Each structure stands twice: as structure tokens, then as C-alpha cells.
């Protein structure tokens, strides 16, 4: 017995949102670092890296600190992009497999056309 087309579409839509959220999470981390480096690179610190920062930075209040363990690797980014593309295609296929009656019951996917 094959899986219900609406359920397959719903799962694909959920997976797509999760994959898209991961891309946004990576982009947010990178963007926060860029903003702080552009504004005040002299009051920026990276923790969990084994690098000693001057006390005026390491003990200061309000210093932007990046946890080195949170910084995405190029591999993390590549996997996230590849995963999103794969799931995006699966979502398109699941949408196209729905009957017109089923399409009337669910929201059309927001697959960010034009933002390949």
C-alpha cells in the first residue's frame, strides 16, 4: 500500500522548512560575525579555540563572542545546501503528484522559486 499523497507532501514540506531553517541559521551566524567585524573588530572575541585574547577584551562587558564550535565549516554549508536542494525537488514532486482536489486542501509550497 502506497503512502497517502497528502501525507507525503506534508512530510516533504516539513523537511523543506527544517532544511531552509538550517541554511538561515548558518547565514545568521556568518552575518553576525560580518556585522561585528565591520563595526568593531577590536572588540570581538572567539572562544573555545585556544587563543588568548587581551584582558581588555576577554573580561569586558558586552563583547561579541563567537563560540568556535558554532562556526559552520564549509562542509556544513555544502551539506545544508545540498540537502535543501534535494528536499526542494522532493517537495516539488510531491506537490505535482497531488490531485487538484488534494491541492485545494493544502497550501502550495513556498519553495522560493527564483532563489535556486
The pLDDT of residue 81: 97
114 lies in some domain: no
Spatial separation of the C-alpha atoms in residues 92 and 72, rounded to whole Å: 28
Looking at the structure of the chain, the number of domains it has is: 1
Beta bridge partner(s), residue 47? 67
The pLDDT of residue 46: 94
DSSP character for 61? T
High-pLDDT (> 90) share of the chain, %: 75
The pLDDT of residue 110: 80
Spatial separation of the C-alpha atoms in residues 10 and 23, rounded to whole Å: 20
13 lies in some domain: yes
Helices 5-39 and 74-97, interaxial angle, to 10°? 150
Spatial separation of the C-alpha atoms in residues 10 and 15, rounded to whole Å: 9
111 lies in some domain: no
The pLDDT of residue 112: 64
110 lies in some domain: no
pLDDT in tens, the chain (116 residues): 457 999 999 999 999 999 999 999 999 999 999 999 999 888 899 999 999 999 988 888 888 999 999 999 999 999 999 999 999 999 999 999 999 999 999 988 887 654 44
113 lies in some domain: no
Residue 7 main-chain phi, psi, to 5 deg = -65, -40
CB 76 within 8 A of CB 15: no
66 lies in some domain: yes
Residue 25 domain boundaries? 5-101
112 lies in some domain: no
70 lies in some domain: yes
What pLDDT digit, counting tens, does each position of 24-45 carry? 999 999 999 999 999 988 889 9
pTM of the model: 0.81
Spatial separation of the C-alpha atoms in residues 33 and 12, rounded to whole Å: 32
**DSSP codes joined into one string, 49-93:** SS-PPPHHHHT-TT-EEEEGGGSPPHHHHHHHHHHHHHHHHHHHH
Amino acid at each position: 500500500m502506497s503512502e497517502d499523497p497528502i501525507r507525503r507532501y506534508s512530510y516533504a514540506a516539513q523537511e523543506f522548512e527544517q532544511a531552509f531553517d538550517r541554511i538561515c541559521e548558518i547565514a545568521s551566524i556568518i552575518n553576525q560575525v560580518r556585522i561585528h567585524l565591520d563595526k568593531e573588530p577590536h572588540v570581538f572575541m572567539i572562544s573555545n579555540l585556544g587563543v588568548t585574547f587581551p584582558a581588555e577584551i576577554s573580561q569586558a562587558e558586552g563583547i561579541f563572542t563567537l563560540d568556535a564550535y558554532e562556526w559552520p565549516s564549509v562542509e556544513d554549508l555544502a551539506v545544508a545546501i545540498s540537502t535543501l536542494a534535494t528536499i526542494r525537488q522532493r517537495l516539488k514532486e510531491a506537490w505535482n503528484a497531488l490531485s487538484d482536489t488534494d491541492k485545494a486542501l493544502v497550501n502550495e509550497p513556498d519553495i522560493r522559486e527564483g532563489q535556486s
